[in-house]
Amino acid sequence: MIELAHHLLDIGENSLQAGAKTLLIEVKEERKEGFLILEITDDGRGMTQEEQVKALDPFYTTKKVRKVGLGLPMLFQAAERTGGRLELKSTPGKGTKVTVHMGLHHIDRQPLGDVGGAIAALILGNPEVRIIYRHNNGAETFEMDTEQIKKELDGLPLNHPEVLNFIRDFINTQVREMSPEA
């Protein structure tokens, strides 16, 4: 995967396939510590301890369309290449949280990329799911919450093309203004 946004999309899709009704995607820039932190938290069906171990194995997947599951293993390697780490915490019946620490300015860190496009793609097929994107650059925080947007739409569906384009552009503009180097 070329951009971190692709990883966010992949993990978000896994969360939605696991029955999540709320998905929180957070990007935190810890400038003093030199880390970029990605956190994806869901209220899906969760995983057992055994499933969590298997989830980091590239030759394990629960998907029927392919025989390998490269999403988390690739993100794990991307984090390690930058001096970071990946933590996976999950409770059956309650949900899952993936936390990734990456070297903020490390030469091997992938760019954040089209986060707005990734969020719009998640909304497109799942307009009923509450999706929250939060970005903190150490000085300010930006948040987009589909529940708030729904209140403003006056019946227009979240997955309407104009709404999705607005969400994509709005998120990407906010991220660029807050974190030009992200």
Q: What is the pTM of this model?
A: 0.91
- For 107-127, give the DSSP string: TTPPP---HHHHHHHHHHH-T
**In this predicted structure, what is the pLDDT of residue 69?**
45
CB burial of 52-89 (b: ≥16 within 10 Å; e: otherwise) equals: eebbeeeeebeeeeeeebebbbebbebbeebebebebe
19: region left, alpha or beta (phi > 0 left; psi from -120 to 50 alpha): left
Give the integer Cα–Cα distance in Å for 13 and 112. 18
Average pLDDT of adjacent 10-residue blocks, the chain of 182 residues: 90 94 97 94 95 76 48 90 95 96 95 96 96 96 96 91 96 91 64
**In this predicted structure, what is the pLDDT of residue 58?**
67
**In this predicted structure, what is the pLDDT of residue 68?**
38
**In this predicted structure, what is the pLDDT of residue 82?**
96
Question: Is domain 4-178 given the CATH code 3.30.70.1230 in the classification?
Answer: no
